[in-house]
Amino acid sequence: MRHPLVVLCLTLLLATGAAGAPARAGEHAPPLSARFAPRPGDRVTLVRPGVVHLRRVTDDPWRINVLLLDLTNPAIDLGVGLGGGWLSGRHRTSALAAEHGALAAVNGDLFGDSGLPQGLTISDGRVATAPKRRATFAFGYDRRPFIGYFTEEWTWSAEVVAPGGTRHPLTLLNTPCPAGQLCLFTHLARRVPARPGATSLLLGHDGRVDAVLDAEATAVLTGTRVLQGTGPAARWLREQLAPGDKPEVLVRTEPELSRFRQAISGGPIILRNGRFIEDCLCALRDCSQTTTPGASLVCEDFSTDWKLRHYQWVRMPRTGIGYDAAGQTLILAVVDGYQPGYSRGMTQEEFAALLREFGASEAMELDGGGSSTMVVSGRVVNRPPDESGERYVANALLVYWREPPRD
């Protein structure tokens, strides 16, 4: 039984989490202390008003870190951290937090050898990479959180329209372009590499074609963009666009990207309306590697092999994010794993139950395994399993404390 004095102290400590005016008119959130109940033995720290760090050690054993944020407190803000403010490769979560002056952070999206995030990235309103059919957390200009998808396909629905009205699909953003495809690069990529057989169109600040380059590397300055294509896409660029022309770039997503100031992908979704859901094992629509190869499903865009190494009975370190039904409490959680006798990691269902315990109605995973990292007040509070320590990652979800102005 919990000692009544402990309950009283925790209640007094956490009640201050409601400091600041409600972020949305007409909505009065209960104090943060009323939105979850610590267990005996939990170490609870009030980091800032409305920012609570909870650390839990269990006999299983599990080592758990949870960060609770009161989104009705306007002093609390979120960001997506990129090293140097552009797609500069991999950096440690703690380094990204320090560089951007964040109060706290968790690791973000999955990444490949190049260090590029694999899904949608929006940082301070700047779209850095295109969405895939993967779970994405986004934070709107209205301060409302969102977990869901922006496309039903492996990439967005986008196209380039030439002045004459002809159109060509636009495949990716700031990412190496598949052969025969057309892709767009912005200053967040800094540079478009040389590529044999490629045609690149440099678009100036006014959106008009300034130069046509063949197989050349080019820098991408702030306010400029580059369209690059190979094969049929290169031919289309040369035939349909010339210096002085102003192509139109059309992007269609649901919901619209313009609604969100920040977005970071990962996957999969593990809670919907407070219930655990398990993503299907197909790779998007490809079920050929499953026991039901003829199934008609739309799954998250991970390979079946990857899913079998992360889903179902697999226990591993995990990083996740969720929010309550009112969209007023944000829950960030990291559980350590791959460390027998210290922390064994969780299955997806166990991890979903943890997020639900702290009030999550909607929740998803971010990158896990050796990437799982939580930083609070400049310190890594969990124990990543890699022998080299904290892993270098593609991006991070940042928590800011904006000191309220004094009268």
271: which strand partners?
A: 276, 363
Does residue 165 sit in the same domain as residue 131? no
Residue 253 has pLDDT above 60, yes or no: yes
Residue type, 342: Y
| CB atoms closer than 10 angstroms to residue 379 | 10
Structural domain range at position 209: 157-252
Q: Are 349 and 402 in contact (CB under 8 A)?
A: no
Does residue 123 sit in the same domain as residue 266? yes
* Confidence category of residue 31, pLDDT binned at 50, 70, 90: confident
Number of independent structural domains in the chain: 2
Residue 197 lies in a domain: yes
CA distances (Å), origin 63, targets 162, 184, 318, 367? 56, 43, 11, 18
Span 205-244, pLDDT tens digits: 999 999 999 988 999 999 999 999 999 999 999 999 999 9
Which tokens go with 294?
Answer: 């003829």
Q: What is the pTM of this model?
A: 0.93
Domain boundary among 219, 252, 285: 252
CA-closest candidate to residue 366, choices 399, 329, 326, 335: 335
Does residue 139 sit in the same domain as residue 275? yes
| Least confident residue range of 14-28, 30-44, 251-265 | 14-28
**Over residues 171-197, mean pLDDT:** 96
Span 63-93, pLDDT tens digits: 999 999 999 999 999 999 999 999 999 999 9
The Cα 399–Cα 375 span in angstroms is: 10
Does residue 265 sit in the same domain as residue 384? yes
Question: What does the pLDDT read at residue 27?
Answer: 56
**Over residues 302-313, mean pLDDT:** 97
If phi over 0 gives left and psi between -120 and 50 gives alpha, with beta otherwise, what is residue 392? beta
Residue 301 lies in a domain: yes
Does residue 220 sit in the same domain as residue 92? no
Residue 197 has pLDDT above 80, yes or no: yes
Does residue 162 sit in the same domain as residue 228? yes
Does residue 265 sit in the same domain as residue 123? yes
The Cα 364–Cα 57 span in angstroms is: 23
Which tokens go with 130?
Answer: 């295109």
Residue 6 lies in a domain: no
**Over residues 48-59, mean pLDDT:** 97
Does residue 208 sit in the same domain as residue 228? yes
Residue 349 lies in a domain: yes
Residue 175 lies in a domain: yes
Residue 318 lies in a domain: yes
Does residue 132 sit in the same domain as residue 268? yes
**Over residues 161-172, mean pLDDT:** 98
Residues 6+ apart with CB under 8 A from 276: 270, 348, 349, 352, 353, 356
Does residue 103 sit in the same domain as residue 244? no
Q: Taking all residues of the chain, what is their mean pLDDT, rounded to a whole number?
A: 92
Residue 406 has pLDDT above 80, yes or no: no
Q: Are 398 and 81 in contact (CB under 8 A)?
A: yes
Residue 375 lies in a domain: yes
Span 357-397, pLDDT tens digits: 999 999 999 999 999 999 999 999 999 999 999 999 999 99
* Confidence category of residue 407, pLDDT binned at 50, 70, 90: low
Q: Which residue has the higher pLDDT, 6 or 271?
A: 271
**Over residues 29-38, mean pLDDT:** 85
The Cα 226–Cα 183 span in angstroms is: 8
Domain boundary among 212, 233, 252: 252
Does residue 121 sit in the same domain as residue 268? yes
Question: What does the pLDDT read at residue 53?
Answer: 97
Residue 302 lies in a domain: yes
* DSSP state at residue 22: -
Question: What does the pLDDT read at residue 88?
Answer: 97
Does residue 203 sit in the same domain as residue 138? no
Domain boundary among 228, 252, 276: 252
